[in-house]
Structure 1
């Protein structure tokens, strides 16, 4: 048994490498400057990195390559103000949603892009400050601020947010707290967006760089490819239209973005299918290929099992159970917190079950457990009973006896006994799928 455990533990590195390679093979990434999307999620464009002088053009290239994009995820320290305003205008005109994932940040000029979203949510950090410029051009700076205010007004940005923005020095950063995000209504669903007019703003042209001072040239943002529709109080959006507005962020946050891997733990039950694969990485890939139907998997690493299924795909994480030859994985979405350690009473089917062994005495009841008809049922019944520390199952009589203490083991023909112990399970690794 120690050899099996050792082999399983050594297999973690191979499992991680295999899953990473499998995920990479599934997703062909398309990059346009700091903007990317992959073929498995063509409705999501991701901004990762600084906004530079070519970012507005690169964003339009990404939009052309991903015409069905509904959502832009943000992870940027900011950058060129003019480019950010042009990107923000495109997002607003196309009615795209914006989202800052957990552990991501959207600072400085990136905040304009976030605020442009028809639907928007900040699970990560949102930070703002004044624009900065190396050129002492007061008039140009005031014009730039005026253009920023005009654009932010089009996005129905609360005046308190703009006040915080312009009061924070350019060498500082105000990161909104969860309380401020709620108070200023920085998160919003698609149905909360006010009707917009068809007029496009006049945006300042700045030299490349972070917060550069505006030049004398003015650039007019291009008109939307889809003419805006003005809603009236008498024509509320239909349920289908409302769903179309609300769904992008909710859909994205429900998608799996990482896997929590456990060793020695079986996710028992809720199987949707089972198959035989070469290793745990292949089992994880089989789960991924179901496109959301599979939420977890367990791989049996026992080398003695030469035939039959060893990969079990599950509709949910089911119930956790101890099994020293098991690798299990649970898929997590952006909405899920990293799982914490759990402590369970377990009767390991590989190391804590004993054939032809009786544990006399210590019965919790004068009668056998009537619901337990098999050794498996008896094992689970003991696990579920807090006072049970062991069990003995009589195969011929099909009787399950739960024990309150462990007697001296003796030979028992056609009996199976098991002893319970407490085990703590923590993820051996959490693998990102991004």
Structure 2
């Protein structure tokens, strides 16, 4: 703290005991301090990345784990999908695939989407998501809500052709006038909306609402 010019307060010393210097205090405390290294479960192989210069002990590389996000859709690049699987099977498929960084599982249709990237989570009552802990610091929990098989007719003021769900989502985020977007997967079309109409069930349309 002193080297960083941080102010601090000390407690009152007990009785007439002398105040120890940092060096003397370290000499007294050191015999009672033990280093504990945790390498996880025995069946997990942990790679050694480098040595810690202070302790000269190997520094373990902690393998990334999947973090669950119930009620969210992970927004990223889908590179494959599986039908008629459970969420547990979807999660296992991602954990076993080094390319996978996130999954979205559609509860209604039992479809699993594996993604090689994840940039945000948006609310979706019909979805379960999981994403790699290595991406945790970068993932945004947005204020969007996603609806599968729904549309809001009207309010379209911009069309983006040859689009993806991710690019449709980011286009709406970057436009202050955008209140919702509709992505038509079959046609790869994105429609940006500046007003909210009455929701309508529409097959093949993915709707995002701020």
The interval holding the TM-score normalised by the smaller chain is 0.5 to 0.7
Paired residue for 2:151? 353
Shift in Å, 1:372: 4.2
Paired residue for 1:371? 160
- Distance across 1 between alignment mates of 2:95 and 2:199: 48
CA contact (8 A) 2:151 2:199 kept: no
Shift in Å, 1:259: 2.5
- Distance across 1 between alignment mates of 2:74 and 2:94: 14
Compare relative contact order (CA 8 Å, sep 6+) and give the higher one, 1 or 2: 2
- Distance across 2 between alignment mates of 1:299 and 1:164: 56
- Distance across 1 between alignment mates of 2:100 and 2:94: 5
User: When the two structures are superposed, what TM-score results if normalisation uses the length of structure 2?
Assistant: 0.54
- Distance across 1 between alignment mates of 2:190 and 2:77: 26
SS at match of 1:369: strand
* Structure with max Cα Rg: 1
Aligned pairs, how many?
167
CA contact (8 A) 2:103 2:114 kept: yes
Answer yes or no: is 1:279 the counterpart of 2:86: yes
Answer yes or no: is 1:262 the counterpart of 2:69: yes
Paired residue for 1:420? 209
Answer yes or no: is 1:166 the counterpart of 2:32: no
Answer yes or no: is 1:402 the counterpart of 2:193: yes
CA contact (8 A) 2:168 2:190 kept: no
More helix by share: 1
- Distance across 2 between alignment mates of 1:392 and 1:314: 21
Q: Please give the residue correspondences for 1:47-196 in structure 2 after superposition, counting only pairs within 5 Å.
A: 165-168=26-29, 189-190=50-51
Gapped regions of structure 1 (runs ≥ 5): 1-160, 176-188, 194-244, 422-434
1:389 paired residue among 166, 179, 186: 179
When residues 190 and 348 of structure 1 are mapped into structure 2, their CA distance, relative to the original with a 3 A threshold, is closer
- Distance across 1 between alignment mates of 2:113 and 2:88: 13
Paired residue for 1:301? 107
- Distance across 2 between alignment mates of 1:192 and 1:268: 40
CA contact (8 A) 1:263 1:327 kept: yes
Paired residue for 2:127? 326
When residues 162 and 399 of structure 1 are mapped into structure 2, their CA distance, relative to the original with a 3 A threshold, is closer
- Distance across 2 between alignment mates of 1:279 and 1:299: 8
User: When the two structures are superposed, what TM-score results if normalisation uses the length of structure 1?
Assistant: 0.30
- Distance across 2 between alignment mates of 1:330 and 1:312: 12
CA contact (8 A) 1:324 1:351 kept: no
More strand by share: 2
CA contact (8 A) 1:270 1:316 kept: yes
SS at match of 1:311: strand
Paired residue for 1:249? 59
Shift in Å, 1:329: 0.8
Q: Please give the residue correspondences for 1:192-271 in structure 2 after superposition, counting only pairs within 5 Å.
A: 249=59, 252-253=61-62, 255-256=63-64, 258-271=65-78
Shift in Å, 1:262: 0.5
CA contact (8 A) 1:296 1:331 kept: yes
Gapped regions of structure 2 (runs ≥ 5): 1-21, 36-49
RMSD: 4.8
Shift in Å, 1:261: 0.5
SS at match of 1:386: coil
